[in-house]
Amino acid sequence: MSIPKRPKLVVGNWKMNGLRGDLSELTAIGEIASASARVEVAFAMPAPLIHQAARAVPGLQIGAQDIHPEPGGAFTGGVSAAMVRDAGGCFTLVGHSERRLGCGETDAMVQAKAVAARRGGLNAILCVGEDATARDLGQAESVVGSQLEASLPSASDAARLSIAYEPIWAIGSGDTPSLAEIARIHATIRQACVRRLGETGRTVRLLYGGSATAANASQILALADVDGVLVGGASLRAATFAPIVRAAIAWATD
């Protein structure tokens, strides 16, 4: 049975950067994205910018960088899936390593957030990735495997789920794994998805993240089981993000 080509998904993650005046950076990207039906372009925005970004820029998917696992209540500072949706967002990242490490988020919390996203009507991009020590010990696959085992939601909650493989040592460092390493880990993630989610696991989009730039995006996007990229630093300016979006469009129209 042939499996339809999954459309590429290019996601920018602004992290804790950007004010309303910076939203003009999204305009050119929206224009490029609107011209291709085969590539989806999304931005995980700081929460206060979600509403304006979603209203102002057609052609882009706008989402959050995190949500609270509960639907509402006495959780000072929390942002629920329903709030993100109400602001015009359609997805959220969950389990980014900066939250796992900086905010002590466990796999169980990440799983609860993925479930909350689904129930609140948001797509989720679940992030996994090993640190430098695990990599040096040759344990990247086992670390990623156990993160997935403990944080993937059940099949019924996995619809509209993507997974981002982001080695922690590659984020913001300018280093990336070799293409062979990325391909190997993505194949492992795909197997884990199919094992845990059944046939649905083949439709989950797998993104690579960690120092993805215009210089390496074409080669990374051409790998089997790489369905897109999650881009931090290079997503902040149209000048550095547009070539990555164009690389995805070129691949999709090949």
Tell me whether residue 51 is one of the annotated catalytic residues: no
**Active-site residue identified among 25, 40, 68, 96:** 96
Total residues contacting ligand PGA (rule CB under 6 A)? 13
Q: Tell me whether residue 71 or residue 172 sits nearer to ligand PGA (CB atom).
A: 172
The two beta strands, 205-209 and 39-45, are unpaired
Closest CA to 25 of 238, 178, 226: 238
Phi-psi label, residue 211: left if phi above 0, alpha if psi -120 to 50, beta otherwise:
left
CA–CA dist 228, 208 (Å, integer): 6
Q: Does 65 engage in binding with ligand PGA (CB under 6 A)?
A: no
Segment near ligand PGA (CB under 6 A), from 80-88, 117-125, 186-194, 229-237?
A: 229-237
Residue 92 in contact with ligand PGA, rule: CB under 6 A: no
Choosing from 63, 153, 201, 209, the residue that interacts with ligand PGA (CB under 6 A) is 209
The beta-carbon contacts of 200-206 under 8 Å, at least 24 apart in sequence, are 200/155, 200/158, 200/159, 201/158, 202/3, 203/6, 204/158, 204/161, 204/162, 204/163, 205/6, 205/9, 205/162, 205/163, 206/162, 206/163, 206/164, 206/165
Query: Can residue 206 be called a binding residue for ligand PGA (CB under 6 A)?
Result: no
**8 A C-beta contact, residue 252 and residue 39:** yes
Q: Token match 């899936």: residue?
A: 81
Q: Is 68 a known active-site residue?
A: no
Among 18, 120, 228, 232, binds ligand PGA (CB under 6 A): 232
Task: State the minimum distance, in angstroms, from the CB of residue 49 to ligand PGA.
Answer: 17
Per-residue x/- track, 130-169, ligand PGA (CB under 6 A):
------------------------------------x---
Q: Which of residues 10-39 bind ligand PGA (CB under 6 A)?
A: 13
**Phi, psi angles (nearest 5°) of residue 6:** -75, 130
Which of 25, 98, 130, 166 is an active site residue?
A: 166
For ligand PGA, the binding residues (CB under 6 A) are 13, 166, 171-172, 209-212, 230-234
Q: Which residues are catalytic?
A: 96, 166
